[in-house]
Structures are given as C-alpha cells and as structure tokens.
Amino acid sequence: MSQLPSPEQIATALEHMPGWSGDADALEASWTFADFPTALGFMSACVEGIEQRGHHPEWSNVYNRVSVRLRTHDLGDKVSAKDLDLAAFLSAQAANHGAH
C-alpha cells in the first residue's frame, strides 16, 4: 500500500476494523470503557506503541469514553498507511481493556 491509500483501499481496510469509520480525510472511532480509570489505562497502554510508530492520534477522553481521529498532518491531513496501522493497534488495545 502506498503512503496515501486509495479510497477503495481505505474502505476495504475499514471493513475489517469494527467501530471505525472514515474516508480519505480522516479515520474515527470511539470506545466506551467500564469507568474513567480503565479509559485512562487504555490511553496509557497505547503510549509505547504510539511512540514506536512515531505517529500520534488526535484523541480525547471524557469520563469512560475515548474518541480518536487519525490523519497524517505532514501528508496534507489525509489518511495514510500509518493511520491504518495505528487504527489496528488502537483497536487491539481497546479490546484488551474491555472497550465496547
């Protein structure tokens, strides 16, 4: 996959990433956790993998909910292969922390 996947590649990837939506401009997901400590624990558990990827999400936390928006700023605020990779990583971490 090139750095900027085609709209078709993004749509295909999203079919395999439940809870995510988006297009060539951004990917978005939101998870609900049992409580605030669990939501914050999820965010903390993601830090190392985010740093390893050198690609950081736009995310926010309100009580037991974490919302994420992914796009690559240095590629014109478009979805890149880095965003698809980070989305898969965040989904796995969310599942590990009991998100729904």
Helices within 1-100 (DSSP H only): 7-15, 36-53, 81-96
- Is residue 71 one of the residues assigned to a domain? yes
38: amino acid identity, one letter: T
Instruction: Report yes or no on whether pTM surpasses 0.85.
Output: yes
Can you give the pLDDT at residue 90?
Answer: 98
- Is residue 1 one of the residues assigned to a domain? no
Can you give the pLDDT at residue 72?
Answer: 95
- Is residue 2 one of the residues assigned to a domain? no
What is the domain-level CATH number for residue 91? 3.30.1360.20
Can you give the pLDDT at residue 3?
Answer: 80
Can you give the pLDDT at residue 31?
Answer: 98
Pair 30, 66: CB distance under 8 Å: yes
- Residue range(s) defining the domain that contains residue 51: 7-96
Q: For the chain, report the end-to-end CA distance as a whole number of angstroms.
A: 29
CA-to-CA distance for 89 and 56, rounded, in angstroms? 12
Helix 36-53 × helix 81-96 angle, to 10°: 150
Tell me how many domains the chain contains.
1
Per-residue pLDDT tens digits of the chain, which is 100 residues long = 448 999 999 999 999 999 999 999 999 999 999 999 999 999 999 999 999 999 999 999 999 999 999 999 999 999 999 999 999 999 999 999 999 9
- Is residue 35 one of the residues assigned to a domain? yes
Can you give the pLDDT at residue 1?
Answer: 45
- Is residue 32 one of the residues assigned to a domain? yes
List all residues 6 or more positions away from 10 whose beta carbon is below 8 Å from its beta carbon.
22, 23, 24, 27, 79, 84
